Amino acid sequence: MNDLARLSLNQETIKQWSLPELVEGCVKAGVPGVGLWREPVQAYGVEAAAHLVRDAGLTVTTLCRGGFFTAIDPAEQRRALNDNRAAIDEAAALGTDTLVLVSGGLPAGSRDLYGARERVADALALLAPYAAERGVRLAIEPLHPMYASDRCVVSTLAQALDLAERFPAGEVGVVVDTYHLWWDDTVGDQITRAGAAGRIASFQLADWITPLPEGVLLGRGQLGEGSVDLRWFRERVEAAGYDGPIEVEIFNPELWARDGAEVLTEIADRYRTHVL
Amino acid sequence: MNDLARLSLNQETIKQWSLPELVEGCVKAGVPGVGLWREPVQAYGVEAAAHLVRDAGLTVTTLCRGGFFTAIDPAEQRRALNDNRAAIDEAAALGTDTLVLVSGGLPAGSRDLYGARERVADALALLAPYAAERGVRLAIEPLHPMYASDRCVVSTLAQALDLAERFPAGEVGVVVDTYHLWWDDTVGDQITRAGAAGRIASFQLADWITPLPEGVLLGRGQLGEGSVDLRWFRERVEAAGYDGPIEVEIFNPELWARDGAEVLTEIADRYRTHVL
């Protein structure tokens, strides 16, 4: 029995690797899954990336990411919808069933969180059938509340589920990411709610460390070095019925400055120690 | 009718002012309330500060702050309790009925948010009667979830109320601070819950702006320049029955670099425009 059988490496975690290096590194380390990002995939070529990953026997667990639906301007809304249709096509081409969505923040000058969230729902209504026809499920990712104004107006798993539940479970799910949700004392119940309805589309890991850097984007912790009880989360999503990939997604320049293979070995070790 | 009748200036907002400058500045600007901090009050002398403020006809709306109850080490716990008893004494000497409490973060190496919150409750049980005997109410302040690990394990108004409601409303209340709570779609209902039980001990204002600075402590926005619908909050606490002071508490080095009187004039203007 391979104890890394469910592990997936999100590409951004070791972004110093090219796509071929990522594929080779995962195969060597026995990591069977990768989460990919649109920009490096597009740069390499979507079809070529799909072949590369498939030929290596790896599974694409998620494509990151679509979303950014909160614009008020109709032209911007149309651009976002078109861009998300392209993201869905790319996900289908890569053979992943999960497109991660970050909803977008408040438009400039707006203070209307409620209205922004409703525009997310409007966009989901237009995109979910398109995605479903291509075998792709949209996965709403709640981001930490510190991103609510400039990145993601969906801040809790409860909010993500409130949105997702307007649509069939096969079309819209949610992402459970420990970095964003660890502080919330209602998250256990919400994981149960998500799992019971088959809504957990992705389970992602990063640890929470401080001090946060300026801009608070690139300060995620390596597994086990921070405040998150990662094993509790893994057990909780499993108790809720989730047995899919466990994807490690850490944004941290210290990891990017190191040898990729060494970082991946460390991730696998810490996964065994702090997650399994 | 004085439209600033409920306005209070938290001392830290214009920390370039000495205590006498603060008192003089508020009197000149027609701002009737001040929120004080323990350290500058201690440096000036608690009794002297009490006289200074009282003689100027100002009200001390809050004393900031007690708390930091989450230590596991018994000696540290005792130190925290003793320090909080001193803070209660200082609040009583200053004639304020409200001591703001920041609960404290996770002890080093701990991932147990639940346990930390229970230690907060244990400390409240020991301190609330002591405070009540001195005419002081303990006010639990939920801080933004980005502070959950290193500063405050109480992240939502619901959590603060869950703690407060274990005690009589006259002994333990909550702080509604727009900076910490604005992102939460349940905050309106929780304000109603807090108001119905007479638990709103303080209402504080700051706006939310980005990018957040490193450490995320000193990036609060001047009223009206950020994402928070301040008027919605004011109307909501009032609808819940709160008619007490409205305290402006902004931590921002840009305000500290300016002339204090100019900053206070700006605050009063923005209070009229964005809050009333």
**Does residue A1 carry a pLDDT above 60?**
no
Which residues of chain A does B112 touch, with a Cβ-Cβ cutoff of 8 Å? 229
Mean pLDDT of B69-91: 97
SS (H, E, C) chain B: CCCCCCEEEEHHHHCCCCHHHHHHHHHHHCCCEEEEEHHHHHHHCHHHHHHHHHHCCCEEEEEEEEECCCCCCHHHHHHHHHHHHHHHHHHHHHCCCEEEEECECCCCCCCCHHHHHHHHHHHHHHHHHHHHHCCCEEEECCCCHHHCCCCECCCCHHHHHHHHCCCCCCCEEEEEEHHHHCCCCCHHHHHHHHHHCCCEEEEEECEECCCCCCCCCCCEECCCCCCCCHHHHHHHHHHCCCCCCEEECCCCHHHHCCCHHHHHHHHHHHHHHHCC
- For A114, the closest chain B residue by CA position comes to B185
Which of A106, A189, A212 should one mutate to test binding to chain B, selecting the residue with the greatest count of B CBs within 10 A?
A: A212
Q: How confident is the model at residue B2 (pLDDT cuts 50, 70, 90)?
A: confident
What percent of chain B has pLDDT above 90? 99
Q: How confident is the model at residue B102 (pLDDT cuts 50, 70, 90)?
A: very high
- Nearest chain A Cα distance for residue B115, angstroms: 12
Which residues of chain B does A148 touch, with a Cβ-Cβ cutoff of 8 Å? 182-183, 208, 227
Mean pLDDT of B72-78: 96
A-B contacts (CB, under 8 Å) = 91
- For A227, the closest chain B residue by CA position comes to B111
pLDDT of the residue at A2: 82
- For A110, the closest chain B residue by CA position comes to B227
Per-residue pLDDT of A113-151, as tens digits, reads 999 999 999 999 999 999 999 999 999 999 999 999 999
Per-residue pLDDT of A39-82, as tens digits, reads 999 999 999 999 999 999 999 999 999 999 999 999 999 999 99
- Nearest chain B Cα distance for residue A230, angstroms: 9
**Does residue B1 carry a pLDDT above 80?**
no
- Nearest chain A Cα distance for residue B108, angstroms: 9
pLDDT of the residue at A242: 98
Mean pLDDT of chain A: 97
**Does residue B208 carry a pLDDT above 70?**
yes
Q: How confident is the model at residue B16 (pLDDT cuts 50, 70, 90)?
A: very high
Give me the CATH code for the A7-274 domain, please: 3.20.20.150
Which residues of chain B does A145 touch, with a Cβ-Cβ cutoff of 8 Å? 144-146, 183-184
Mean pLDDT of B185-207: 98
Per-residue pLDDT of A253-274, as tens digits, reads 999 999 999 999 999 999 999 9
pLDDT of the residue at B33: 98
Mean pLDDT of chain B: 97
Task: Verify whether the Cβ–Cβ distance A210 to B145 is below 8 Å.
Answer: no
Task: Verify whether the Cβ–Cβ distance A114 to B185 is below 8 Å.
Answer: yes
Task: Verify whether the Cβ–Cβ distance B149 to A113 is below 8 Å.
Answer: no
Higher pLDDT, B160 or A2: B160
